[in-house]
Structure 1
Amino acid sequence: MSKSLIDPFERRIEYVRVSVTDLCNYRCGYCMPEQGVHPEGHHAEYLSYEELARIIKAFVDLGVSKVRLTGGEPLVRKRLYELVEMIKPLEGLEDIALSTNAHHLEREAEKLHLAGVDRCNISIDSLRPQRFNKITRGGDLEKVLKGVDKALEVGMKPVKFNMVVMKGTNDDEIEAMVDYGIEKGVEVRFIETMPIGPAGVSMMDQHYAADKILKRVKAHVGADLIPSTDRSDAGPARNFHIAGTNARIGVISAVSQHFCESCNRVRLTARGVLALCLGQEDSVDLRTPLREGISDQELQQLIINAIAKKPERHFFNENVHNIEFRQMVQLGG
């Protein structure tokens, strides 16, 4: 079979985000309801590590070079490093990344890095302990910051912060987050709220546009923001170097300025659904045929057929209050 996945709009799919669980120990308002999505569990519905590794191999054999492990919170699933060990040897897989809230990262970072996790993105929406606790509905900022330090200590590179900017909630910390990122040598990425699921839609009155964020960052640092052209920056973020420094910042403007023309990714949920677009319902069930005994070649063909259905773009601006079919926590961000 072809060693590349090309969608109907000539975009090469090189990146798969793999959710290992839709459970999370935090309850951030833009991501999930306070009671969680599946508080009762249903662990048998999750793909096993062996099943996840088999699907990842099929993608890598079709030309995917980057995998990001997500959740929910991926570190609430035990022994995640075992999955990393399974996929690290795959020929053609160049980058294994992790998205985490870092609550358990101090404990897990060394095992994960030794197993093969190259980099991590850490969700951190406030540097004020009480505010952080309120945003996450119970999160512990001290544990998160220890996780940040551990990731840096063991050699994960780069480590990035993801801050969802919410008007009236944490938008007064934009400048402080830039300063903290510079201090730590961590790239800070500011993310617009997105209308994914009822939780996300309910937060859209707090939407804060990326261009306003960039204007504030530029005024704060007193220097130009130079657009990055690094190939490693390929993805949804617009990335910038702060002139005269080694510091970098980024913005993800999914609502105010969509980036669908360069989309190179799909998402695999923990329950085996291949989601073709973050903002559209298009998806394909991989778990059922996998458990019915599909061959490796048939699995690859199923993926190829799925990519042929990938939509051109989302419509967050046009239908901002209609995208309620699933929660962000189920999609892996």
Structure 2
Amino acid sequence: MNILKDSFGRRFSYIRLSISDVCNFKCGYCLPDGYKIDKSDNRTFITKEEIGRLAKALSELGVSKIRLTGGEPTVRKDFLDIIKIIKKNSGIKKTVITTNGYHLDRIADDLNKSGLDGINISIDSLDPKTFRKITGHDRLNEILEGIKKLQKLNFKNIKVNAVLLRGVNDKEEDFKSWANFIKNNQIDFRYIELMQTGDNLDYFNQYHVSANKFTNYLNNNNWVIQTFGKDAGPSKNYINPEYKGKFGVIAPYSKDFCKSCNRLRITAKGDLRLCLFGNTGINIRHLMQRDDQTEELKDLILKQLNYKKESHYLEIGETGLTKNLSTTGG
């Protein structure tokens, strides 16, 4: 079996697949003015049948995990069908999603029944006022209620993400609030360092703070770093025997961040992206149309890996093709 491997010896067992650019939140770091249709690109989003063929080809290339992202993936009416198609006949071992938690209290039962293997929920603050300020929505309670419902259903793999923002959610009291949250909850919480994209330079300059601020807190409070798993994401995870949950840090500006890269991205319109902040992308959708195109699709993906660079260039302000995080699945 051919395995997805680049010229630097990195293996890719993990795919982030966006299924929609649309998002119903207005987070300041991503879509502060809300979602707007890109009139320069009138292609439709990839269909569930195309996704089924793609997932099968990826599994034959050694991919074991697909994360469905957006935009907001749950805005698609066929979202649950997409999970079921991947779970049913693709050979992919883990299917997980990243969501903003919109209506999570209403869809928790359906998510659990779908066979989903894990969920990442974006919650930038446990303070309702701060949450509303960042997202433009007063929905914190429904999201927390949704998490409780998932836990009652014995849904195991729940993670919560927050973007670290200077002067907004980076105080020690914010860190302590999350510590209280995971103390008796088997939930992993991770701070993500704010990333510069093509259209957020002013916001980035105002709110970016180094992830070191959080790691210093962890180091001073008996948290110990844990090793990576094979299909793990980019988070450095910390454990403490007194806590049921874990803390994590995703710090794209840190030294050697890209050395352990194990993931590729596919956009909602079928473009393969080798890096969230790369300048190269190719459309592979034309090879997702029929079951007999699997070998061609695999060959095209394998050839593209020759173009994957050793690192992104965020530290010098190069943001590549990523105009905002909703277009590439964050």
Q: Same fold (TM over 0.5)?
A: yes
For 2:150 and 2:201, locate their aligned partners in 1 and report how far apart those are by CA, in whole Å: 29
Cα drift, residue 38 of structure 1: 1.8
Q: Which amino acid aligns with 1:210?
A: A
SS in 1 for 2:275: coil
Does the Cα contact within 8 Å between 2:119 and 2:157 map onto a contact in 1?
yes
> Is 1:331 aligned with 2:318?
no
Determine the structure 1 residue equivalent to 2:20: 21
Q: Which amino acid aligns with 1:330?
A: T
Q: How does 1:228-243 map to 2 (within 5 A)?
A: 228-229=226-227, 231=229, 234-243=232-241
Q: Deviation per CA, 1:268-317, whole angstroms, max 9, x where unpaired? A: 11111111101112111012444599822111111111222212110111
Does the Cα contact within 8 Å between 1:198 and 1:324 map onto a contact in 2?
no
Query: Relative to structure 1, is the Cα distance of residues 102 and 35 closer, same or farther in structure 2, using a 3 angstrom cutoff?
Result: closer
Determine the structure 2 residue equivalent to 1:304: 302
Cα drift, residue 175 of structure 1: 2.1
Determine the structure 1 residue equivalent to 2:189: 188
List gaps (5 residues or longer) in structure 1.
none
Cα drift, residue 31 of structure 1: 1.5
Query: Relative to structure 1, is the Cα distance of residues 200 and 147 closer, same or farther in structure 2, using a 3 angstrom cutoff?
Result: farther
For 2:186 and 2:75, locate their aligned partners in 1 and report how far apart those are by CA, in whole Å: 27
Query: Relative to structure 1, is the Cα distance of residues 14 and 293 closer, same or farther in structure 2, using a 3 angstrom cutoff?
Result: closer
For 1:293 and 1:247, locate their aligned partners in 2 and report how far apart those are by CA, in whole Å: 42
Cα drift, residue 190 of structure 1: 0.8
Determine the structure 2 residue equivalent to 1:34: 33
Does the Cα contact within 8 Å between 1:210 and 1:251 map onto a contact in 2?
yes
Q: How does 1:250-329 map to 2 (within 5 A)?
A: 250-291=248-289, 295-319=293-317, 323=320, 325-329=322-326
For 1:36 and 1:266, locate their aligned partners in 2 and report how far apart those are by CA, in whole Å: 24
Cα drift, residue 91 of structure 1: 5.8
Cα drift, residue 125 of structure 1: 0.4
Identity %: 34
Does the Cα contact within 8 Å between 1:29 and 1:200 map onto a contact in 2?
no
Cα drift, residue 331 of structure 1: 0.8
List gaps (5 residues or longer) in structure 2.
none
SS in 2 for 1:267: strand
For 1:293 and 1:93, locate their aligned partners in 2 and report how far apart those are by CA, in whole Å: 17
Determine the structure 2 residue equivalent to 1:197: 198
What is the number of residues matched between the two proteins? Answer: 328
Q: How does 1:60-139 map to 2 (within 5 A)?
A: 60-90=59-89, 92-139=91-138
Q: Which amino acid aligns with 1:303?
A: I
Structure 1 runs (4+) greater than 6 angstroms displaced: 39-43
Does the Cα contact within 8 Å between 1:120 and 1:156 map onto a contact in 2?
no
Cα drift, residue 230 of structure 1: 5.3
Does the Cα contact within 8 Å between 2:271 and 2:282 map onto a contact in 1?
yes
Cα drift, residue 212 of structure 1: 1.6
Does the Cα contact within 8 Å between 1:16 and 1:265 map onto a contact in 2?
yes
Determine the structure 1 residue equivalent to 2:177: 176
Deviates more, 1:172-181 or 1:57-66: 172-181
Cα drift, residue 247 of structure 1: 3.2
For 1:149 and 1:79, locate their aligned partners in 2 and report how far apart those are by CA, in whole Å: 25
Q: Deviation per CA, 1:95-134, whole angstroms, max 9, x where unpaired? A: 1111011112222222222222111111000111122111
